[in-house]
Amino acid sequence: MNLAGRVAIVTGASRGIGRAVAVDLARNGADVALLARRADALEEAAGAVLEARPEAKVVTLAADASDAAAVERAVATTLERLGRLDIAVANAGHAVDALIVRTKAEDVEHMLALNLKSAFYLVAAAARPMIRQRSGSIVLMSSIAGLAGNVGQAAYAAAKAGMIALGKSVAKELGSRNVRVNAVAPGLIETAMTASMSEKARAHYLATIPLGRSGTPEDVSGVVTFLCSDAARYVTGQTIVVDGGFST
């Protein structure tokens, strides 16, 4: 999975899965642009990237992934500073859990903006240079909640399901230009977002995961790297589930 000479942009790159993805892409040869809101956390993530491959070129972009204009500027900066764009990973996301009868309108808007609209904006901005160079790989970080739903996560699940439909649609639009678009649907992954899960909920998940453990960000990042590499050159429009067998 040699990515030497390729350039990637990763949203939500300051921690968790996004950070692991950026590190793994760099370890396999890519130069990377890291986008997240917090500049200090981005610098820490950039340090992890350089630790994995000291010669990597790294650009940090403190921006809101749900702001269309900010995403456009981030892609333009990536092209200006790193010369091209071959890989885009839409990983920005967050969950606010509540039963639908208790879900606030502002939380619905937040879920759609951060999980779905941010992916749409990144795909639209990244597709243009990829179409011109007639190559590229886009990966959308969905969730098993987007495939099967989850109690207390109607808004989050709806947004993640939308990401899957977005990926399938754009894969059909861009395939003739040799631009591939796929989604990854992680299950229970140990990140800051899942740290607040109740012990009862965690025990339920663990009891029904055939591999008998929760996942790590690195369990997901390798799949993303595969999808971005030539090893997956005939894979597009797909959703790869990474959940230890939970949804089997």
What would the two tokens of residue 127 be?
């597709």
How remote is the C-alpha of 84 from its chain's centroid? 20
- Residue whose tokens read 């885009």: 88
Q: Please give the backbone phi and psi of residue 69, each rounded to the nearest 5 degrees, phi first.
A: -65, -40
Active site residue 121: no
C-alpha 87/C-alpha 73 separation (Å) is 16
Helix H or strand E encompassing 182: strand 179-186
Out of 121, 156, 205, 234, which one is annotated catalytic? 156
Contact 154, 107 (CB under 8 A): no
Contact 66, 42 (CB under 8 A): no
DSSP state of 115: I
Give residue 181's identity as a one-letter amino acid code.
V
State the catalytic residues. 156
